[in-house]
Amino acid sequence: MNKSEKFWDRISKNYDKRANNDKAYKKTLEITKKHLKSSDIVLDYACATGLYSIELAGNVKEIHGIDIWKFSNC
């Protein structure tokens, strides 16, 4: 693991904790959900820890998250 990967792995642990208590995070999810249909297939580009993807997954047919270091299917 290189120096950059170690850095992002370390800060990602705190990223989700802050986002869950953030008003902007909650508002973004609220607005986004209004535009989604259960038949939609979504790409979450630069998904970081996948927090948004996980929250939105129940509202769409499929969601795929991609980030520079980690690739995931949610």
Residue that the structure tokens 């120096």 belong to: 3
Phi and psi of 37, rounded to 5°? -120, 155
pLDDT mean over 42-62? 92
pLDDT tens digits along 35-49: 999 999 999 998 888
Is the distance from CB of 42 to CB of 60 less than 8 angstroms? yes
The tokens describing 64, both together, are 């795929």
Domain ranges of the chain: 3-73
**Structure confidence at residue 40 (pLDDT):** 98
**Structure confidence at residue 73 (pLDDT):** 54
> Is the full-model pTM beyond 0.75?
no
**Structure confidence at residue 4 (pLDDT):** 78
